Chain A
């Protein structure tokens, strides 16, 4: 069939004009102004619509240049052009190792297979709301558009968005957004009159921590138990139902439409040389302003805490920043001038992990927090390999012994030895990174552990160091 010129696609253009007018007159949500202190140091790309549109109305999304990037890609009708734009933008995967997104898409597009899939992973394994679920809840259409562009770029007809089933509001809005997209011909056959046929299935997941691993997520979507499997083969060659599969984080996909629209150069101009663009976080803890934020890469942590977060709340003092949740790590305020980028964080032995930034108040006990995170990891271990399944539970037991005031200095050696074992012997990245929080705490706050052990005293007064049974 002949491809209609998509930039002039009548439906899309008419609708955009119509709804732009409507949005202006109705003004459902106030546009956030740059003048608010929470916004001043932010640079919103992935989160550009969060808080400023009604997430459940496709009209509002279209009015804000929604699906323009998709239309542009389809108009060029050249997947390599889309891949080139992505590569030029320097966009990297927003969790873990930060693999270049353009290269990842290219690997999948070049893999041999008949029925490849694209998957959006919105599982972060935190309990309650997370960066991904909040993003989807606030702007489901950008993820749908990003995934559709991915499908076009790698040549896929099947998309999945995996979202924790217990996130009711995000789930409801996403499902409705998928339905609306279908109704407007933005999903289904011959999208916007092009040759692209693509549809999305929402996969209600268990929300387990292990679903952050791509192979575990594949198992889960296939209807099996979510456990990682060894690589190779890599999902880009042998993924969902043994076909090439592209898996992207929701935040990465949300950044794709703006990147495509500006041709990639604007995005790569933001941030540092190796970490381009912006990074979103879920800012929480003892700061005055909490919520979803997005800053240019290279922003110092201190800026985020003091300017965006507005500094400590209720006159308390911030002693450390916890970044990345259970498998992330602690950064003491003395190192708060560290900039947010893949390399600097890696040098400190932490990673962006789940994308949370927690300000830790002075009256919090680091050892107790480490115990808490280790408990989460131990409970969330998929159970496949012994270092993670049993090793993390042993570490939890040792940490409990310490917080109960029953630890010995040898326990710290045991913890370090077990950490090294778990790091070198676990199957997946989640197991390997499970000692990260503990190790970063030991690196920066060893004296606090020692106080629990030698003085039988919790400096913050949180732990009951008089023994478990007393």
Chain B
């Protein structure tokens, strides 16, 4: 962009021609008041507070938020005319603003009030009767007070331009203008909370965050959201260790202030009354409450009676790097026979799929690439529910940047409404598509440089089998659709492939990860890969090389299964609930029946904990501190926001106490921090050669199944943790079986019927929900619910599940 001289308040500045004046002025440290401007949105020019005076030339007031810089521009940001206009503007705004400031929930945190403090308002008494609207309750979470609304329109624009939902809009005219849902229906949206967080006054507030504590008594902590692997930064205002409000700052990275329902509202699960506050010990067959001393002496006794090799650890990818390192160190030093993660979504895609290709199990793309790349291709799953930030980034890319996103996913949901193109292949056939694309791109001459890579000849040989017709048969897509996508990739200078993972998505994620990684590697600098693990610190665990003893891999492969199924094991389970959370057919329950002694460390009395000998109450989510590494491979800090309930200990402390019982001394916190930093740095900077290995033969044409099960997470949750949040449970769709009305009618099922869903001899009982958005031939249910879910039917490695439905009386 061309730099041109301009004058601001008499100062000569250089500015990029065409850039918005407000950005230039603010970048030079000159403040400009606004109520309607938001850098994340298109220029709006509604509040007229950012007006500046043109000193030379045409004169008059111009809005800085929507005026581009021109050569020789000379403006004054605080002239008398400017201040007078702002004072008048503020006066007009407060005329139609319900002034109950002393008792307002935003009384100490109101943008309108701040500006009136700064500029004041004229003292002439203008006749005006404030518009009064009838109160309307449209949501259990979001409280709307139209009498306080100043019509800045930020909420409606964020909802449309950023979230892509358009649940609310400005309606009516003149002083009757207000925000409303379509036809005043109850608010039915994604509950991302952005409308509330952006509201400059108290027109939109969140019921759970209606705190009476003045802002100057609150402590502000910025931490990383740990619900998924996006790494959003959240801002908590706490008082006495209790979060009063949760939101996110506009300048936070990577999320720019955007949140999802989980990250905004899910935190009430910390205060769930079901939280464990005392250790439990099994006495005479029943779990009874006890104190920490007793719990650990029980553990010490149990440890002393068994050989060290009988100890096996299973942890979850939600722990911080520091706690993970401590655990790993303890288990190794003690001589345990194995430590690993459960069947974590994303683990096999990264470790078995991507790792061997790139020499390290890491994604190569950053989240910011989602906006800048020429093309984004989303494969395998819709990130709307599992990784909401990725979805909003892609929506912004589509709506604001007008850049293309192509999605290939068997069960498209929210993003499909916006995507440039949505391909719907047979479930679990993305690996075939990746190979077919490689074949086409090779034919287009785009992959020439890849011939230099290690083992490339074998790869080129193997993709030769993926003729377009073969790929079309394997994926169920048309040849032109595959060719079109290949052409789009060939025409882009930079393509980002996104691979979301979540429980129960059809298709072997290791093979998908590998084939896509090979394609990305062969494209060289023209492509990058972003694998999205489900849990917040899976990448951190991989970077630390966490785990040992289950063969080469940490996943519950046959090696892990074998180890687990040995008799007489001492199992230490941290944050894992295999009985309820693992695919039922992995047979977790049988391991526990064989195990000799089980210690479970968790925040709730999970299904697994009910079988344990000792249960240790632990911290979760933002009660933890340390480092987590997000899907993009960036390390972020986890700060303690909330105090754990009395009686629960930090996970690190529990691990240390456990180690003491075993007579192992662990490094100090400082040493742990240093070692973690060292290992993360090494993982980040490791250089390895790219190796392309042969891909499997194309899949056979997929069989036509009468009814396929889609276990994708419903709007807010897969259920493992989030079902403990009262807030999310009441917002989310009821945990039910979503079925298209036609399909239901054929089976004599009506809305709300109890339906027995069966597959391969397993069955679960669900309530039917007739859903117009549901495609024929597919039923959808959540992975995990309080009384079963898709987990009871699915084996994670299964390609695709056919289910039968029967109405149950």
Q: Are A401 and B61 in contact (CB under 8 A)?
A: no
Interface residue total, chain B, C-beta cutoff 8 A: 41
Identify which of A50-58, A151-159, A346-354, A380-388 touches chain B.
A380-388
Known A394-B128, A414-B126; contact A385-B85, beta-carbon cutoff 8 A:
no
Q: Are B128 and A386 in contact (CB under 8 A)?
A: no
Identify whether the interface residues of A are mostly helix, strand, loop, or mixed: helix
Q: Are B66 and A230 in contact (CB under 8 A)?
A: yes
What residues of B have a CB within 8 angstroms of the CB of A416 in the complex?
none
| Cβ-defined partner of A389 (8 Å) among B42, B127, B151 | B151
Q: Are A385 and B47 in contact (CB under 8 A)?
A: yes
Interface residue range, chain A: 20 to 34
Shortest Cβ distance from B89 into A: residue: A386
Q: Are B177 and A383 in contact (CB under 8 A)?
A: yes
Interface flag for B44 (CB, 8 Å): yes
Q: Are B92 and A424 in contact (CB under 8 A)?
A: no
Q: Are B127 and A421 in contact (CB under 8 A)?
A: no
B102-149 contacts to A (CB < 8 Å): 124, 126-129
> Please, how many angstroms separate the alpha-carbon atoms of A426 and B88 in the complex?
12
Interface flag for B93 (CB, 8 Å): yes
| Cβ-defined partner of A379 (8 Å) among B63, B170, B171, B173 | B173
What residues of A have a CB within 8 angstroms of the CB of B48 in the complex?
385-387, 425-427
Contact with B along A318-343 (1 / 0, CB 8 A): 00000000000000000000000000
Shortest Cβ distance from B129 into A: residue: A397
| Cβ-defined partner of B95 (8 Å) among A380, A381, A383, A390 | A390
Contact with A along B42-65 (1 / 0, CB 8 A): 111111100100000000110101
What residues of A have a CB within 8 angstroms of the CB of B170 in the complex?
225, 227, 383
What residues of B have a CB within 8 angstroms of the CB of A397 in the complex?
126-129
Interface flag for A186 (CB, 8 Å): no
Interface flag for A378 (CB, 8 Å): yes
Interface flag for A3 (CB, 8 Å): no
A385-428 contacts to B (CB < 8 Å): 385-387, 389-394, 397-398, 401, 414, 417-418, 421, 424-427
Shortest Cβ distance from B88 into A: residue: A421
Q: Are A389 and B47 in contact (CB under 8 A)?
A: no
| Cβ-defined partner of A424 (8 Å) among B61, B176, B177 | B61
> Please, how many angstroms separate the alpha-carbon atoms of A225 and B172 in the complex?
9
Q: Are A385 and B61 in contact (CB under 8 A)?
A: no
Interface flag for B388 (CB, 8 Å): no
Interface flag for B337 (CB, 8 Å): no
Interface flag for B558 (CB, 8 Å): no
What residues of B have a CB within 8 angstroms of the CB of A229 in the complex?
42-45
Q: Are B402 and A421 in contact (CB under 8 A)?
A: no
| Cβ-defined partner of B173 (8 Å) among A382, A385, A425 | A382
Shortest Cβ distance from A232 into B: residue: B68
Interface flag for A161 (CB, 8 Å): no
> Please, how many angstroms separate the alpha-carbon atoms of A421 and B81 in the complex?
10
What residues of B have a CB within 8 angstroms of the CB of A390 in the complex?
92-93, 95-96, 128, 175
> Please, how many angstroms separate the alpha-carbon atoms of A26 and B127 in the complex?
63
* B160 CB to nearest chain A CB (Å): 9
Known A379-B173, A394-B92; contact A386-B66, beta-carbon cutoff 8 A:
no
Known A401-B127, A425-B51; contact A393-B174, beta-carbon cutoff 8 A:
yes
Interface flag for B153 (CB, 8 Å): yes
> Please, how many angstroms separate the alpha-carbon atoms of A382 and B44 in the complex?
14
Interface flag for A97 (CB, 8 Å): no
> Please, how many angstroms separate the alpha-carbon atoms of A69 and B108 in the complex?
68
Q: Are A398 and B127 in contact (CB under 8 A)?
A: yes
Known A381-B173, A394-B126; contact A230-B44, beta-carbon cutoff 8 A:
yes
> Please, how many angstroms separate the alpha-carbon atoms of A393 and B95 in the complex?
11
What residues of A have a CB within 8 angstroms of the CB of B124 in the complex?
414, 417
What residues of B have a CB within 8 angstroms of the CB of A14 in the complex?
none
What residues of A have a CB within 8 angstroms of the CB of B89 in the complex?
386-387, 421, 425
* B695 CB to nearest chain A CB (Å): 38
Q: Are B127 and A425 in contact (CB under 8 A)?
A: no
11 contacts between A and B (CB under 8 A): A230-B67, A382-B177, A383-B170, A385-B47, A386-B92, A389-B175, A390-B93, A394-B127, A397-B129, A424-B61, A425-B51
Which residues of B are at the interface with A, using a C-beta cutoff of 8 A?
42-48, 51, 60-61, 63, 65-68, 81, 85, 88-89, 92-93, 95-96, 124, 126-129, 150-151, 153, 169-177, 402
Which residues of A are at the interface with B, using a C-beta cutoff of 8 A?
208, 225, 227, 229-230, 232, 242, 378-387, 389-394, 397-398, 401, 414, 417-418, 421, 424-427
